[in-house]
């Protein structure tokens, strides 16, 4: 029997893959095809012999997956030797229907297609990825792992927006939440680090990457999260605004004669750090701030203030908190964000040890003092591993 899962993450012009040992999380081979459909595409494959890159036109997602299969054959590891147990797909929006991973069949593809209006930037590509993989791996079970699924345990008072009932009842307007695979992985790892069972731990998880989201996890179940109907709500992100007064779009439409699409685009693509500083990459903002740039300094403060506000809110939601957990690119690497976001919270039992926080490491670790009431942790996320585990569990339980 094999424990390897081929994990696929399909974007509108990219296809990322990783052949993961679901037991250990180790990736035997992985790669990324980018600029699919453009005049010049690029494919990088990492196997046992290191990394190989190819620049050539990649007309379709099917061509991208074929190139991946060929790269496994030429550069290893051979897919025949590894014997894949399942193909696991990252699917962004599963709506209210999917609270767990599910086997991919025609019905599931139809359901994910029906959800395209809720995730127009992501679900069409995810559907394409599932179709292509079913064609190229017709004999393997294929599993959809949804970004929204972990948050399907939110209670009604947390997922319901106070809007006309018909909006929610007829149009599915509610909080769904995203990054669920990461929040699930990180909260489990946090429990492991604390040497406790996940159902015995209350955690506030802060996923700070290009997209950013917070969640309150009670005993291993998500009970509140900052992203909403779409991934736009909540924390300040690389290019997304996070929370703004919902009246802002109407005001801009009236006063500036902007279209709804213009505003949607601006809030998703040219807001957040990008809107405040002209740079969406946190490292760049950090560099500007260190050089005395006032706009970058304000952006940093807005970013950290928003995180702190959510920590306070989720503390109140949970009542007791065992751990605050940082993850993803900024959360795992930026000691200054972790320190600033949690400063002054000693009365809540939250303290960050300056030296532990400053130490660079790729390992999951504690950055609060040993006697700190609330453990402050840094846990590197691994969504591929989580998708592999969930996919394998599902196919083994059939």
Which residues are near ligand ADP by CB under 6 A? 209-211, 238, 281-283, 286, 328-330, 333-334
Q: 200 with 192: CB under 8 angstroms?
A: no
Least Å distance between CB 130 and ligand ADP? 21
Q: Least distance in Å: CB of 182 to ligand ADP?
A: 9
d(CA 333, CA 65): 32
Number of Cβ within 10 Å of residue 265's Cβ equals 13
Of all residues in the shown chain, the one whose CB is closest to ligand ADP is 329
In sequence order, what E strands does 93-141 have?
A: 102-103
CA atoms within 13 A on the CB side of 71: 28
293 marked among binding-site residues: no
User: Any idea what DSSP says for residue 242?
Assistant: -
Q: How far is the CB of 280 from ligand ADP (least distance, A)?
A: 7
Q: Is 275 annotated as a binding residue?
A: no
Q: Closer to ligand ADP at the Cβ: 21 or 281?
A: 281
Q: Are 202 and 218 in contact (CB under 8 A)?
A: yes
Cβ distance to ligand ADP smaller for residue 63 or 383: 383
Residue 26: count other Cβ atoms within 10 Å of its Cβ.
Answer: 11
Q: Which CB, 142 or 333, lies closer to ligand ADP?
A: 333
202/277 with CB nearer ligand ADP: 277
With a CB cutoff of 8 Å and minimum separation 6, the contacts of 381 are: 182, 185, 186, 207, 327, 328, 332
Beta carbons of 296 and 289 less than 8 angstroms apart: yes
Shortest Å distance, C-beta 290 to ligand ADP: 12
Q: Residue 310 contacts by C-beta under 8 Å, 6 or more apart in sequence?
A: 204, 206, 214, 226, 234, 235
Could you give the CA distance from residue 178 to residue 373 in angstroms, rounded to a whole number? 29
For residue 387, which of 167, 105, 180 has the smallest C-alpha distance? 180
**Contact in structure between 378 and 332 (CB atoms under 8 Å):** yes
CB nearer ligand ADP, residue 75 or residue 240: 240
Radius of gyration of the chain from Cα atoms? Answer: 21
For residue 299, the minimal CB distance to ligand ADP (Å) is 12
90 is in an annotated binding site: yes
Between 180 and 238, CB nearer to ligand ADP: 238
**345's torsion region: left (phi>0), alpha (psi -120 to 50) or beta?**
alpha
Residue 254: burial class (beta carbons within 10 Å; 0-12, 13-18, 19+):
exposed
State the minimum distance, in angstroms, from the CB of residue 337 to ligand ADP: 8
Confirm or deny that 208 is annotated as ligand binding.
yes
- List the structure tokens of 311: 């920590």
Task: Please say which residue, 121 or 253, places its beta carbon nearer to ligand ADP.
Answer: 121
Query: Which of 3, 80, 114, 147 is an active site residue?
Result: 147
Sign of the torsion angle spanned by Cα atoms 58, 63, 65, 67: negative
H-run or E-run covering 53: strand 50-56
* Active site annotation includes 147: yes
Going by their DSSP bridges, the two strands 221-225 and 323-327 should be labelled as unpaired
Shortest spacing between CB 274 and ligand ADP, in angstroms: 10
Q: Which residues are annotated as a binding site?
A: 9, 16, 90, 207-211, 281-283, 329-333, 383
Q: Which residues are annotated as a binding site for ATP?
A: 16, 207-211, 281-283, 329-333
* Residues forming the active site: 147
Q: Which residues are annotated as a binding site for substrate?
A: 90
């Amino acid at each position: 029997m094999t424990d390897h899962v081929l994990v696929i993450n399909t974007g509108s012009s990219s296809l990322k893959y990783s052949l993961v040992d679901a037991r250990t999380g180790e990736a035997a081979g992985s790669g990324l095809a980018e600029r699919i459909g453009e005049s010049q595409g690029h494919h990088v494959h990492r196997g046992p012999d290191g990394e190989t890159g190819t620049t050539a036109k990649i007309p379709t997602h099917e061509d991208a997956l074929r190139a991946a299969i060929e790269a496994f054959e030429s550069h290893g590891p051979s897919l025949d030797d590894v014997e894949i147990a399942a193909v696991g797909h990252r699917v962004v929006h599963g709506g209210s229907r999917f609270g767990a991973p599910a086997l991919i069949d025609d019905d599931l593809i139809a359901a994910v297609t029906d959800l395209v209006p809720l995730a127009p930037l992501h679900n069409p590509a995810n559907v394409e990825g599932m179709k292509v993989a079913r064609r190229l791996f017709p004999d393997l079970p294929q599993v959809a792992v949804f970004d929204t699924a972990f948050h399907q345990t939110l209670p009604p008072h947390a997922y319901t927006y106070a809007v006309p009932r018909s909006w929610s009842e007829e149009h599915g307007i509610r909080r769904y939440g995203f990054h669920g695979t990461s929040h699930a992985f990180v909260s489990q790892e946090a429990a492991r680090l604390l040497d406790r069972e996940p159902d015995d731990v209350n955690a506030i998880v802060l996923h700070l990457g290009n997209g950013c989201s917070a969640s309150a996890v009670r005993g291993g179940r998500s009970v509140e999260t900052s992203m909403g109907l779409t991934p736009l709500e909540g924390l300040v992100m690389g290019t997304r605004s996070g929370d703004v007064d919902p009246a802002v779009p109407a005001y801009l439409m009236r006063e500036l004669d902007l279209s709804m699409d213009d505003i949607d685009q601006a809030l998703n693509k040219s807001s957040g750090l990008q809107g405040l500083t002209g740079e969406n990459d946190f490292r760049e903002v950090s560099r500007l701030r260190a050089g005395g740039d006032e706009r970058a300094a304000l952006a940093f403060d807005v970013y950290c203030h928003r995180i702190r506000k959510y920590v306070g809110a989720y503390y109140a939601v949970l009542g007791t908190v065992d751990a605050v957990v940082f993850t993803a690119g900024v959360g795992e690497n930026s000691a200054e964000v972790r320190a600033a976001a949690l400063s002054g919270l000693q009365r809540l039992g939250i303290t960050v040890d300056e030296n532990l926080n400053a130490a660079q490491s790729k390992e999951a670790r504690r950055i609060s003092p040993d006697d700190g009431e609330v453990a402050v942790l840094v846990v590197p996320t691994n969504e591929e591993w989580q998708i592999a585990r969930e996919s394998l569990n599902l196919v083994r339980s059939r």
